[in-house]
Amino acid sequence: MITRRDILKLGGLTLSVMLMPDGYRILKAQEVPKRYAPNLWLNLSRDNYLTVFVNKSEMGQGVYTGLPMIVAEELDFPWERVRVRPAPAGKPYVDPKMGIQLTGGSTSVRNMYETLRLVGASMREMLVSSASKSLGVPREKISAKGGYIRVGEKSYAYGEFVDLAMKEPIPSKPRLKEEREFVYIGKSLPRLDVPEKVEGKALFGIDVFEEGMVYAVVERPPYFGAKPMKVQVEEAKKLPEVVDIFPISTGVAVCAQSFWACQKARERLRVEWSESFVKGWDDGDFERYFMQKLREKGDVVKVLGSPQRSFEESPIKIEEVYIQPYLYHATMEPMTCLAWVKKDECVVYAPTQSQTWTLEVAKRISGLPESRIKVITTYLGGGFGRKANVEFVAEALEISKRLGKPVKLIYTREDDIKSGYFRPYSATLLRVGADKEGNLKTLSFKIAVQPLLGGRASVEGVENIPYSIPNLYVERVDVELPVSSWFWRSVGSTHNAFSVETIIDRVAHASKKDPVELRLSLLRENPVARRVVQTAAERAGWGKPKMGEAMGIAYHFSFGSHVCHVAEVSLDKKTGQIKVHRVVTVIDVGPVVVHPDLIRSQVEGSVAMGLSMALKEQVKFKGGGVENTNFHTYGLLTADEMPQVEVHILTSKRPMGGVGEPALPPTAPAVANALLWGYGIKVNRLPMTPEYIKTLL
Amino acid sequence: MVKEFSLRINGKSYKVRAFEDEPLLWVIRERLRLTGTKFGCGMGVCGACTVLVDRKTTRSCLLPVKDAVGKEITTVEGIPSNHPLKKAWIEHQVPQCGYCQTGQLMEAYALLLENPKPTRQQIVERLSSHLCRCGTYNRIIRAVEAVSRGGKA
Ligand code: FES
Ligand code: FES
């Protein structure tokens, strides 16, 4: 565990980056004014190790590798000597462009790229200047490469100059490398987190211990929106190792010396819960409610041309209603947190995606000032947005405060599913109109969904659609329900890419137009996107399936990246079972490819999650609560269902795009479109389970 | 109900107090703090908790500790770092979040003990009982295939 104070004591050359009103400032550690706080720390030690303190959560996306390699590039430093540590939470580690410390929105490399290069380059120049002085050699005769200062035949480790370098001024305009000078950027360096993950030594949230700690589980209401009214604890308290049982804001906390004692005790617990609006609701009730909401007037977000009239006058008109379910994040590591609220100090170890919100709940619950709170980010056993919601941290804090002891809270899988914060349910009404040649002239979109990001997520990917459509209408109806909803990898694009991309193919199908051709013409004003679609079609061998019976294509722009998938699919008409054999995918990430293999693995993972959502996933309701209880009733994609995935990466001159999310949204529509062309099946809801598909045959 | 048990894990002896019906998983990872073995579902569905008991893969979340007494238990910590499987996992950069990986690796390890040269089909079948939310399946299969071809496990 490292704190800000520890960083200042490290010795060697320590630089920090601070966001000031006029932009970034690079400062030496000791120059950091007391009340100001930098955004990032880097330390080059006397024994020639570079430690980068990264202000992002490593949840599998490779940020512990991607960010340090950018610094190491400009510093020109050997990769084997680079180490990475999580930065302590607090004002110093706020993401400069987001204003809070949060890992999400596929932003990590995007936001930090320039800053990391500058600071690496600054360090390098300071080393060169100090070497020049101490060796009495002009700067031009010195090169700094691979962690060594070289003068003629002689070479000296960077570490030899760190103390002197600390006295050098920070260069105002350090020279950055030309692209052709890159030694790391563009290469797939080995990930820094992989060896300890393979050994079982990586510390996840669930792997933390504290002397004298108590375990806790929380018994949760059987339906959303309820609170515990009456709790009978006598029987439960008789068990060995049980410490205490009491209601908290989200349920009833059961605390014991072991996790298993908590579990046994909760079986003997009797809780009466308060009433709630959704008590008694089953799946059908949700569908009726959302369909009713879809008929209400909402907020009109965008109007281009005259959508109403042009739709009515269109020779080809298609209207469709889409229903998409709540989805569960299913991080393999459930929510878990170790918290300790003491009188004058508060410590939190958490697999959190948001250090800022974690700090906020710690302040609120402990009542202590920020300077008395330590937040330590562990590895995250999956995040996908879920772990940016810190209610689980708040629960651990609340329990610890009451007991005055360190508390390790563990959600069972059943608790984790029940706890909600799902990708919201949605009902979408789409109307599209085209001329006889299949030229799409009108797209009218109306969605009823629980709003995220103040409603922006509801219309994500539609309001900013890259297609040239002269008549566009976008409306959203905000739904409020006690079922908690939250960011789920790719957020609003998950539902909108599905509805929009499948209806595009319905137009193509109705007018006998090739869906690739239709997309290329819709993207006539967007050459970058056109090239993505074109390349995907070429690489996949469009029109000639190799492994499956049918092919489908889908394209979507989100998180700054363009992605197009071509899926090869077969359907067993007897069983309704879909098999996806191969997905060829093209992603355009903008100007640079920092680490190609990280992009590939993120895309492979997004396709897997996208297929899982397309074919299997649905949170089901019974009595107003979640009917699925564990992975046997909330199935995820398995190895035998995983297609071959071929990833092609393109670059273009434009702002940098993200890679963690944008490949997910086009997955489900690519599969659905293959069903349309191959089997004439019109899918308008997810998941495409065999039972559902059979009803369409 | 809480009793002392003697366990043999990775060739070492441990004495530990636990409930008789407490799953081996919780004894290993929380009471003995060998945290490489993970909790995912607690009902035998995800594979995160996979260990070897007398050289057979076992979902430790389902095995009461009393039934593990007198048996030889192997966890990921007991597989040497230079084992071809661990090396292949690094070579193919398999893990993303990494949470499911130790269970996957133990399953592959057991498979290779039983059959040093499994076919791709056999590998896929065997590992399909393990969940990976990050979607690393193709890399896992490639890593195991590489070792299978190497035939050194
Ligand atoms: S935790 Fe044992 S199989 Fe999932
Ligand atoms: S690597 Fe994250 S669950 Fe498998």
Give B70: exposed, middle or buried? Use CB within 10 Å, 0-12, 13-18, 19+. Answer: exposed
Question: What confidence score (pLDDT) does residue A101 get?
Answer: 63
Residues whose CB falls within 8 Å of the CB of residue A17, separated by 6 or more in sequence, listed in order: A24, A25, A26, A27, A38, A39, A40, A115, A118, A119
- On whether any CB of chain A is under 8 Å from the CB of B8, the answer is no
Q: How many CB atoms lie within 10 A of CB A612?
A: 25
Please give the ipTM for the structure prediction: 0.97
- pLDDT band per the 50, 70, 90 thresholds, residue A136: very high
Question: What confidence score (pLDDT) does residue A584 get?
Answer: 98
If we measure between CA atoms, which residue out of A598, A596, A593, A585 comes closest to residue A664? A585
Strand order of the sheet with strand A577-588? Answer: A550-558, A561-572, A577-588, A644-650
Q: What is the largest CA-CA distance in chain B?
A: 49
Phi-psi region at A500: left, alpha or beta (left = phi > 0; alpha = psi -120 to 50): alpha
Per-residue pLDDT for A90 more than 60?
A: no
Residues B124, A639 contacting (CB under 8 angstroms): yes
A433, containing H or E segment: strand A426-434
Please state the rounded mean pLDDT for residues A240-269: 97
Please state the rounded mean pLDDT for residues A182-189: 96
**Among the partner residues B19, B33, B97, nearest to A209 by beta-carbon distance:** B33
3-state secondary structure of A583: strand
Residues A613, B98 contacting (CB under 8 angstroms): no
- pLDDT band per the 50, 70, 90 thresholds, residue A28: confident
Residue B42: its chain A contacts at CB < 8 A? 412-413, 630
Residues A131, A137 contacting (CB under 8 angstroms): yes
Point out the ligand 1 atom lying closest to the alpha carbon of residue B49: 2
If we measure between CA atoms, which residue out of A615, A603, A617 comes closest to residue A640? A615
Amino acid at A173: K
| Distance in angstroms (rounded) separating the CA atoms of residues A73 and A430 | 48
Per-residue pLDDT for A1 more than 50?
A: no
Please state the rounded mean pLDDT for residues B32-60: 98
Question: What confidence score (pLDDT) does residue A67 get?
Answer: 86
- pLDDT band per the 50, 70, 90 thresholds, residue A192: very high
| Distance in angstroms (rounded) separating the CA atoms of residues A408 and A420 | 21
Token pair for A171: 């260069």
pLDDT above 70 coverage of chain B, percent: 97
Residues whose CB falls within 8 Å of the CB of residue A245, separated by 6 or more in sequence, listed in order: A231, A233, A236, A237, A252, A253, A254, A255, A265, A269
- Whether ligand 1 lies within 6 angstroms of the CB of B99 is answered as no
DSSP E strands in B12-153: the ranges are 12-19, 50-53, 56-59, 72-74
Fold of B84-150: DNA polymerase; domain 1 (1.10.150)
Question: What confidence score (pLDDT) does residue B127 get?
Answer: 98
Domains of chain A, first to last: 4-189 (3.30.365.10), 205-275+335-410 (3.30.365.10), 284-326+422-696 (3.30.365.10)
> Rounded mean pLDDT of chain A?
93
Per-residue pLDDT for A214 more than 70?
A: yes
Interface test with A, best of B25, B46, B96 (most A CBs within 10 A): B96
Contact B19 A264 (CB under 8 A): yes
Q: Which residue of B lies nearest to A62 if distances are taken between CA atoms?
A: B96
Residue B93: its chain A contacts at CB < 8 A? 188, 190-191, 194, 597, 601
Question: What confidence score (pLDDT) does residue A84 get?
Answer: 86
With b meaning 16 or more CB within 10 Å and e meaning fewer, what string describes A625-639? bbebebbeebbbbbb
Task: Kindly report, residue by residue over A475-489, the tens digit of the pLDDT.
Answer: 999 999 999 999 999
Vertex A281: Cα angle to A280 and A283 (nearest 5): 145
Give B142: exposed, middle or buried? Use CB within 10 Å, 0-12, 13-18, 19+. Answer: middle
3-state secondary structure of A1: coil
| Distance in angstroms (rounded) separating the CA atoms of residues A450 and A121 | 46
Question: What confidence score (pLDDT) does residue A121 get?
Answer: 95
Per-residue pLDDT for A102 more than 70?
A: no
* pTM higher than the cut 0.90: yes
Task: Kindly report, residue by residue over A7-18, the tens digit of the pLDDT.
Answer: 677 788 998 876
Question: What confidence score (pLDDT) does residue A30 get?
Answer: 73
- Whether ligand 2 lies within 6 angstroms of the CB of B137 is answered as no
Question: What confidence score (pLDDT) does residue A89 get?
Answer: 61
Of A107 and A636, the one with more pLDDT = A636
Residues whose CB falls within 8 Å of the CB of residue A264, separated by 6 or more in sequence, listed in order: A239, B19
Question: What confidence score (pLDDT) does residue A93 get?
Answer: 52
Token pair for A379: 């590895």
Question: What confidence score (pLDDT) does residue B1 get?
Answer: 82
Query: In CATH, which superfamily holds the domain spanning B2-78?
Result: Beta-grasp domain (3.10.20.30)
Task: Kindly report, residue by residue over A318-335, the tens digit of the pLDDT.
Answer: 999 999 999 999 999 999
**Domain limits of chain B?**
2-78, 84-150
- pLDDT band per the 50, 70, 90 thresholds, residue A112: confident
- pLDDT band per the 50, 70, 90 thresholds, residue A529: very high
Please state the rounded mean pLDDT for residues A563-584: 98
